Structure 1
């Protein structure tokens, strides 16, 4: 039996190196590089965090030393491979159950979930300035991944009144969450810091490797396995929580978003993060549609907070609703999403492979435990010696990824919404603005909205750089996908900034040529294709059913029992009953 080298039986003391992540974490994300210093102020305002993200080093070390070290490495790789295959098949994360599955889930998925959440939180904090939520709720499958990212964004000195993390993977995952959260200084309880003796600090290095007795760990975040009731939070972070069964789309999304919005306090923010896949995007788009009901306001420009009717106390009269929501990011408008198809199955069709969807990417540095996880054949990308110098690397063929990168890219879709306060003055102001802008129509193609960053168009594709000009694909305040061309003759400064732009940035410098994208989703066409495909599948199923019934009748009515080969009969019966089992 595999035995760890050491067994840590006392609670972690994390008073050591309390400023190490301040230098490399949230503070680092605020730094402006020499390259960015040349950008215009508007460009800097609309720019997302472009620095590569790295996992908190103390958290990464705890994962390697106190979680993954308890298993034989190849066992983690084997389970991780199965989890990735299952994710590829079902398109959704499944709840890990056994300790090995839980630790494999942490090794495989925590890094990307952390990077996506950290990026969204960082951009939100930079955008709104005074971002100091006092009641924070995080919900996910992992070990409080959203709370780990929140603590690092806010810094080690920031203290909330209340932090709660709903961990849906059971008590074993909660134990891992305790270990990882205890590595962050902001989780240390004040009374404990007074009791700590400098001699109790954990020694730097990899000396302490093994199991941690989590009962002795005390942290600020309250860990729970169920959703709280009759409480409200200033910030809610949801990681992969909109949909648990793809067959229940969109009903399950509707039920879940309503359940979570009940917990959002006035003036609070809710963050939805899903995988950057068609299903993840459509889940986000459906939640957005339910929040602001763009189909009810087809001619309304800007981003006026919309009444959330399901959560409203007065469902009959929208003007009296006290529950309003505004989309903060990534959308530049409150119109219908121009990329939403309302049906994730369309992307599976041959004709749907070129459909675009809204997702973003972020580079995250691989910590030591992830690099070690990728070693070997199980999780390696297949390669042959033909790809390399045969003299140098012939002995390495098929043995893994000897020249793999030390970073990986996370692809995610997200939404940030804000609930308005409930006072009569605010509600009256919202209603007045809506009445004044009634039937004004959406902003024209090429518009910068109302001129504030909140309505600037967002770059949704990698900028296309050509000699003398740059082409940007944007989601504009017009509610359409637009194509803007910025040549050098338009403005040298704008041309320079366009060449330095990234997918996800807001663009405020205009362009010489602005046009609506020629790509258009023909929903009716896809509905007809899907309808025909379902019809063909039913026809094929009936044909198969008829063939199976005929074979069964032949076996049942056969009088030549002695001449019947029992082996073939068993095979026939197995196939017949197997067919009926799969059908039901």
Structure 2
């Protein structure tokens, strides 16, 4: 008689034994980030290809896209596109990367809310960025299989009016952007409604290629070039908008963050996304520091919401009123604690030093499938060969593309993100928060799993190191420290199996055999001294350069200007001088 193997209870709900998640423990499933490869909505991709990029010469797009990537390597910050060609090049190249980072971050927020037993579906949404309403496009795709009708969807597109027109084309291909004719017939003449239906029907029939009359396109999302001042939003998506000039890092992040937090409704979430480079990470870490002020609570553990008092309006009193204390913020992800960030340096210049090359950052990666227009763009010669060093930029294999007909159809996006939550304003919630602040029940030491909920589970910040018989995890832990956990096969076969399936960006809700403190403390003093030397040397070089230019300028001013070859050389020299002062003013943000 054959023995019948009993299936463990944890596998009972799964119908397929060969499913990739069949052997994973429940904690692992709750801890995993969104795994599937991100792909742009095919209808959106088709609209971009047929109705936006088809109007440009491919080589012109490649040239502008190449310059954008080169500038990003040198400046590390996005600039708003202004001309029509710059807008199209942004959509052809950078939009896909931003879409992937926003989509993955919103999926993280959705899963974290689900782990609390809540159905997350924001009712008022605000998206702010340079791109074509990237946050709204990603949000619509996340809820594409369910009914999603927020009362308010606003997209603020900074820079170009032409980008707003292109955003209309992209949004019009999403089902959640279709305007109900019954709701809109009072404000739109009947003949325009008929024209819209005809245009939509024609678009559905065939792949029409060419320019679109965007004036007749109606979308649920309201497009604007200015930040609203009156509305409060349940979800605010901020993509690369906290810093415009690196020289103003310490003040600009603070000022911009305050503007957005003023628009956040009680119980709402703000999602901040930056590039996955050292500057992007430091921007996110700075925003986190401003919101929860870990330096003011050195002995506090857990994720108790912290009071936010910036921007509070005082009404004929020297101290805030009780209601003004009811504004609390909590970090949802990626941090498992509210203590000082163990990777934050506080100064992006530290990474440029020779000694700063080993500094780590909290950045994440996501794979996105390249749509047709993106693959065609990067197969071109300008993005397929090594870039020259004319503009002082370092060539990058990840950005230049392969140039092969059968090259890879995906790319890896690097990004840093932060999700924060504003507490509700009802008396019961405020009373509970104040009680938690008074009791201070938690004291998480090295090796702790927090309060055994996903909110305080450690986060895997490096790709797990898999060795024969054991796995090593680098974690940002609820203790506020970087920790290194080792899971050998002898510890637990099930936990060992799940550790081998873990990836960077996942939470870790299981135990380990060995738990020790990770990398040593950051020697900030050493980098501060190097920074002082850098500033001193920069000022010295600037004074020498200005002195030389001033002498040249005075000499040219005293000479009589005649139209000959020598005068042309003088004019070129003067343009160089003025160009120097212009570039210097740009760097200072003036």
User: TM-score, structure 1 length as denominator?
Assistant: 0.85
2:125 corresponds in structure 1 to 136
2:457 corresponds in structure 1 to 456
Residue 204 of structure 1, CA deviation: 5.7
Q: Is the 8 A contact 2:231 2:263 kept in 1?
A: yes
Quote the Cα distance in structure 1 between the aligned partners of 2:169 and 2:281.
32
Q: Is the 8 A contact 1:142 1:169 kept in 2?
A: no
Residues 272-329 of structure 1: CA deviation (Å, up to 9, x unaligned):
0110111111111111111011111111111000000104457846986111000000
Matched, 1:173 2:173: no
Q: Is the 8 A contact 2:172 2:218 kept in 1?
A: yes
1:283 corresponds in structure 2 to 283
The verdict on how the C-alpha distance between 1:529 and 1:576 changes in structure 2, with shifts beyond 3 A counting, is farther
Quote the Cα distance in structure 1 between the aligned partners of 2:204 and 2:556.
74
Residue 242 of structure 1, CA deviation: 0.7
2:355 corresponds in structure 1 to 351
Residues 130-155 of structure 1: CA deviation (Å, up to 9, x unaligned):
10111111111111111000001112
Q: Is the 8 A contact 1:273 1:413 kept in 2?
A: yes
Residues 169-206 of structure 1: CA deviation (Å, up to 9, x unaligned):
33211111111111011111222799887996346686
Q: Is the 8 A contact 2:464 2:472 kept in 1?
A: yes
SS in structure 1 opposite 2:92? helix
1:528 corresponds in structure 2 to 529
Equivalent of residue 118 in structure 1, options 95, 103, 106: 103
Quote the Cα distance in structure 2 between the aligned partners of 1:493 and 1:362.
27
Quote the Cα distance in structure 2 between the aligned partners of 1:555 and 1:216.
58
Q: Is the 8 A contact 1:332 1:456 kept in 2?
A: yes
Residues 85-142 of structure 1: CA deviation (Å, up to 9, x unaligned):
2222221111111111111111111111111111111121122121011111111111
Q: Size of the alignment, in residue pairs?
A: 532
Matched, 1:582 2:580: yes
> Superposed, which structure 2 residues align to 1:209-228 within 5 Å?
209-228=209-228
Q: Which moved more, 1:549-558 or 1:66-75?
A: 549-558
Equivalent of residue 66 in structure 2, options 78, 81, 84: 81
Matched, 1:293 2:297: no
2:79 corresponds in structure 1 to 94
**Structure 1: gaps (5+ residues):** 1-30, 384-397
Matched, 1:103 2:88: yes
Residue 446 of structure 1, CA deviation: 0.9
SS in structure 2 opposite 1:37? coil
1:182 corresponds in structure 2 to 172
SS in structure 1 opposite 2:473? strand
Q: Is the 8 A contact 1:456 1:477 kept in 2?
A: yes
1:506 corresponds in structure 2 to 507
Q: Is the 8 A contact 1:381 1:401 kept in 2?
A: no
Q: Which moved more, 1:66-75 or 1:549-558?
A: 549-558
Residue 255 of structure 1, CA deviation: 0.5
SS in structure 1 opposite 2:430? helix
Equivalent of residue 423 in structure 2, options 420, 424, 448: 420
Q: Is the 8 A contact 1:65 1:206 kept in 2?
A: no
2:396 corresponds in structure 1 to none
User: TM-score, structure 2 length as denominator?
Assistant: 0.84
Equivalent of residue 161 in structure 1, options 128, 151, 173: 151
**Structure 2: gaps (5+ residues):** 1-15, 186-192, 388-400, 585-590
Quote the Cα distance in structure 2 between the aligned partners of 1:550 and 1:179.
55
Matched, 1:72 2:57: yes
Quote the Cα distance in structure 2 between the aligned partners of 1:466 and 1:134.
47
Matched, 1:445 2:446: yes
Q: Which moved more, 1:567-576 or 1:319-328?
A: 567-576
Q: Which moved more, 1:197-206 or 1:34-43?
A: 197-206
Quote the Cα distance in structure 1 between the aligned partners of 2:307 and 2:556.
65
Residue 358 of structure 1, CA deviation: 0.5
Residue 166 of structure 1, CA deviation: 0.7
The verdict on how the C-alpha distance between 1:548 and 1:238 changes in structure 2, with shifts beyond 3 A counting, is closer
